[in-house]
Structure 1
Amino acid sequence: FGVDEARHAAKKHQARSDLAQLINKDGDDHVGVIGVWGTSGTVGHSSIIWEAYENPDVKLNFPCRAWVRVMRPFHPTEFVQSMVKQFHTAVGVGVLLEGERKEQDLAQAFNGYVNENRYLIVLTGLSTIEEWHQIKTCFPENKLGSRIIVSTEHVEVASLCPGRESTVSELKQLSAEQTIYAFYRQVLLLF
C-alpha cells in the first residue's frame, strides 16, 4: 500500500473524515483500531490526533485514556506502567503510582482498567507490523467498543494494523504534498 493507493482509496470511499467521529462511532463492540499516517513528515499529524483525543465527547465515551510513545527496545512493564499512570489520572483517582509497582500489582491494575472500562489508547512511533503484533497482545477484547489509534510514519503499518480489509479516509490536507489519512475497519462506520 503506497501514497498513490491511499489517495485513490480515500477519494473512492469518501472525501474526508473527522477523527473524533471515527473514534466515537458506534456499531461495533470489538476493539477498533485506527491507523493514522501522514504523507510527508508529521507536521500537524500529532495535533490532529491530540484534538480528537481531547474532544469532550471522546473523553466522555472513553473514561480510560492513554497516549504512549513506543520506545525501543520495547519494555512491556514500562509500557503498561505508563498507561496505568494515565488511567489513574483520567478516571480521577488523582494519585500517581508511588515508585515502582511490583509487576504482578501493575498487571492487576492494568487488567482491571482495560477489562472493565472502555478505553482509548494512542500509540505513536510504531515502525513495524512486528511491533504492533507484540503490543496488541497487551489489550484484551473487552467487548466495550474500545479504540486504539496507531500513529505512524509508515503507510504499511497504518494500513495493516486495523486488520482485515481496511478502509482509508482523508483526515486533513495540510498542503498539496501533505495529507493525513486514517485506516480503519469498515464496521466502525455502521450506524
Structure 2
Amino acid sequence: MKFIGTDIPGVHLVQPEPLRDERGYFARTWCAQEFADHGLNPALVQCNVSFTAQRGTLRGMHYQTAPHAEAKLIRVLRGRIHDVLLDLREGTPGFGRWQAFELDSGNATMLYVPEGVAHGFVTLADNTEMFYQMSTGYSGAHAAGVRWNDPAFKIQWPLDNPRLSPRDQQHPLWNQPTDCGDLK
C-alpha cells in the first residue's frame, strides 16, 4: 500500500498496490503493522456500510468526541463522492482547515481520517455505497457534528442545495454549544 500525506496532518490517502495477472488482481487494503509504521491508529473494531440512493445527498460533518474519538478508513465500493475533512483538533497545525477529495469505485483509493477530524461527503452519483473501518465503536452520547456550510470554515462544496437529513440540517455552528459541551 502507498500512504500519501495530505495538507491536514495525520490524514492520508491510502492506495492499494494491486498484483495483476490475466484473471484480474489481488491487493491488500488493510495491514495493522503498515498503518502503525506510518503513525496511524491500527485499531480496527467496527466496520460499517453506507448506501445513498440519490446523487446530491450530503452527509456530515460528523465526528465523535473523547473518550470515544474515532479514526476511520473510508473506501467507495460503488459510485463517486466529494469527500471533505475538517480538522477540529485544537492546538494542531491543521486546526480549522478543511480539504476535499474525490473518491470513486474505479480508483480504489481509501482515505484515512484521524481522531478529531470531522468527515462529510456529498454523493456525485446515484446508488453510492461506502465501506468504513473504525477504530472504536459508535457512541451516541459522543456523536457530534458541525454544520456543513458553517461560515467559520468556508468549505467549498460542488453544489449549493444538497439533500440533508434533519439531523445534519441542525448541526450547530462552530461557536455554538452542543450536547457534548462547547466546541470552542
After TM superposition, is the score higher than 0.5?
no
Query: What is the TM-score when the length of structure 1 is the normalising length?
Result: 0.28
Higher relative contact order (CA 8 A, sep 6+): 1
Task: Report the structure, 1 or 2, having the larger strand content.
Answer: 2
- Greater fraction helix: 1
